[in-house]
Amino acid sequence: MKNIKNIFNEKEPKCTKTDYIILTIILLFYSTLSFINLGSFDNPQTFYTFNENENITIELPSQTDIIRLRLYNGELSGKYSIYISKDNKEYTYIKDINNKGEFAWNEEKVLKQAKYIKLQAKTANSQIGEIAVYNNNKELISVKKITSNVVNKDSKTKVLIDEKEQIPKEISYLNSTYFDEIYFARTAYDYANNIEAYEWVHPPLGKLIQAIPIKLFNTMAPFNYRLMGNIAGILMIVVMYMFGKTLFKKRKYAILSSLLITFDCFHFAHTRMGTVDSFLVLFIMLSYYYMVKFFYNHSKHYLLFFSGLFFGMATSVKWTGLFAGLGLAIIFFTYILKEKKVNIKLLLKCCLFFVIIPCTIYIGSYLLFPKVQGTNTYKIEDIITQTKQMYTYHSTLNDDHYFSSPWYSWPISYKPVWYYSNEVDEYHHGTITGIGNIAIWWLGIIASIYLIYRLIRRKDIASLTILIAIISMWLPYLLIGRVMFLYHYFPVLPFIMLAISTLFYDIVEKTKQDWLLFLYLVIVILIFILYYPAISGNITSNNYLDKLKLFKSWYF
């Protein structure tokens, strides 16, 4: 027992073999959990593109009761009209459908007896990858053939029924896009296939990273377009451990810091989704980590290079990376003031590291894949035009949204974002909600306030870095009028966790009561376990989920 206590209390700012063993155990646990049901490895890959008002006729082997029609959308979803017939002469109109969601399965009820189904496209260039028809016994009906009324296109309709093995037993997030994946995953597909990128209101880097597995495996599947974001979520745990070691010097606070992000509900839910925020947050964390390392190693200017590099990468994922840059500048110039002398050589290096290199990354990400919807970015002038269009979009975005929330409500996770819902029956459904672990988020408020007191008293680098990071990436939203969501708080979250580690450092080091830290971690883990059904997509009883709701605004 004494040896275990000595291991956790070892005071060493650098990672040793023991640190790597502990970190490996944490990563193996989290990685296993995060990869479980991340998404299917395959989906239909061949697509049929419709002309406007084009009809396709689905012929079944015989007249039968048609209960359901399933359609898998491609890069562009669309609207269709459904008709049925017994003789391929007289058709009965059933309904119009809005086949929502790119790279997603949709299901429509037919509830009629027929041998022929006619699908009329109301949207030009809409795509379907696979069609499935089911009878009243929930059995898949074999399609005899599909024909089109467009001349010389009949042979191409075979792609609508060529991947039967990809038809899922149930439609869920495992085989379909959800939430903002319809923008980011779709655009990653565009980059991977060298076609005009759909989503243009954020810089390209995040989607380019997301596209790597799609290109590498040549498959547009949920696992592939969620893979890189999930890996980024895993790497955040590593950075938090390193942060804890650097700031607090003792191993137990490195473990605490890494476990807080491991068992945060929001981190788990959001990094497993195929969007780009995982890369943004990881790069911001790394930029601050290397800035802190520079504070402790003034002679190692290459640390500033890495800080600037990751700052540039963050900004090339989303413009909110600029908020992080504001905090980095404050920390750096605090160092300059502390030194009481101007190091011209260092300032010139910082111009390179924090201006030229980030601009190069930003511009390079556009020039690397210049096909962007609206304005193709083949030259600098095009990138400037695109940047202006992005600014206009964000500065004038006044659309309201049910799950939007004001910046001051984020620390208590007052209004989570409901990413996904799959209603199985009136008593059960699967859900994925971007909600914070209240043991972390709520204590984080107290810890952040404590940091202000600590900074005044001690003027230490840990308090300065954490507090500036929180303020620079949270308070600017006070001035932003566009619709905002809880996930805009994500870049602040790791530093809230470091504030908690700082609070426990002072309490435990003063009282020598290690059990307080252990007890807190038990509470954090228990809350994560309780809310796991609400963040994982697993089918859960409505009654259980209702018991988790602490506010009326917790809608999942």
Greatest mean pLDDT range, 13-27, 135-149, 269-283, 480-494? 269-283
DSSP state of 412: G
Q: Tell me the two tokens of residue 459.
A: 């003027």
| Dihedral, CA of residue 171, residue 173, residue 178 and residue 183, to nearest 10 | -100
* Average pLDDT, integer, range 492-502: 98
User: What is the distance between the alpha carbons of residues 416 and 408, in angstroms, rounded to a whole number?
Assistant: 13
Residues 494, 253: contact at Cβ < 8 Å?
A: no
* Residue found under tokens 């997603």: 104
Q: How confident is the model at residue 153 (pLDDT cuts 50, 70, 90)?
A: low
* Average pLDDT, integer, range 295-316: 94
Q: How confident is the model at residue 1 (pLDDT cuts 50, 70, 90)?
A: low
User: What is the distance between the alpha carbons of residues 124 and 115, in angstroms, rounded to a whole number?
Assistant: 27
CA atoms within 13 A on the CB side of 362: 23
The CATH number of 48-166 is 2.60.120.260
Q: How confident is the model at residue 482 (pLDDT cuts 50, 70, 90)?
A: confident
pLDDT of residue 11: 79
Q: How confident is the model at residue 398 (pLDDT cuts 50, 70, 90)?
A: confident
* Average pLDDT, integer, range 381-388: 93
* Average pLDDT, integer, range 324-343: 87
Q: Tell me the two tokens of residue 482.
A: 């566009």
Count of CB atoms situated within 10 Å of the CB of 252: 22
pLDDT of residue 151: 65
Q: How confident is the model at residue 337 (pLDDT cuts 50, 70, 90)?
A: confident
pLDDT of residue 2: 59
Mean residue pLDDT of the chain comes to 93
pLDDT of residue 401: 79
Pairing of strands 78-85, 92-99: antiparallel
User: What is the distance between the alpha carbons of residues 556 and 417, in angstroms, rounded to a whole number?
Assistant: 9
pLDDT of residue 342: 74
Cα distances (angstroms) measured from residue 394 to each of 277, 397, 482:
17, 5, 7
Cα distances (angstroms) measured from residue 348 to each of 15, 334, 353, 500:
32, 17, 9, 36
User: What is the distance between the alpha carbons of residues 178 and 175, in angstroms, rounded to a whole number?
Assistant: 10
Task: Indicate whether 534 pLDDT > 80.
Answer: yes
- pLDDT for 34-50, tens place per residue? 999 999 999 999 999 99
Residue 194 has phi, psi (to 5 degrees) of 55, 45
Nearest to 279 by CA among 121, 137, 491: 491
* Residue found under tokens 């697509």: 47
DSSP state of 23: H
What residue ranges do the domains of the chain occupy? 2-38+204-547, 48-166
What is the distance of C-alpha 395 from the center of its chain?
23
Pairing of strands 55-73, 92-99: unpaired
Task: Indicate whether 195 pLDDT > 70.
Answer: yes
User: What is the crossing angle of helices 277-296 and 222-248, to 10°?
Assistant: 20
pLDDT of residue 154: 61
- pLDDT for 350-373, tens place per residue? 999 999 999 999 999 999 999 998
- pLDDT for 441-479, tens place per residue? 999 999 999 999 999 998 888 899 999 999 999 999 998
Residues 23, 257: contact at Cβ < 8 Å?
A: no
Percent with pLDDT over 90 in the chain: 83
Q: What is the DSSP string of 294-323?
A: HHH-TT-THHHHHHHHHHHHHHTT-TTHHH
* Residue found under tokens 């308070």: 475
What is the distance of C-alpha 65 from the center of its chain?
42
Coil, strand or helix: which one is 53? coil
- pLDDT for 63-121, tens place per residue? 999 999 999 999 999 999 999 999 999 999 999 999 888 999 999 999 999 999 999 99
* Average pLDDT, integer, range 386-411: 88
Q: How confident is the model at residue 537 (pLDDT cuts 50, 70, 90)?
A: very high
User: What is the distance between the alpha carbons of residues 34 and 123, in angstroms, rounded to a whole number?
Assistant: 38
Cα distances (angstroms) measured from residue 324 to each of 108, 115, 293, 320:
46, 61, 16, 7
- pLDDT for 238-264, tens place per residue? 999 999 999 999 999 999 999 999 999
For the chain, the straight-line distance linking the first and the last C-alpha, in angstroms and rounded, comes to: 43
Percent with pLDDT over 70 in the chain: 99
Indicate the range of 124-128, 182-186, 391-395, 451-455 predicted with least confidence: 391-395
* Average pLDDT, integer, range 151-175: 87
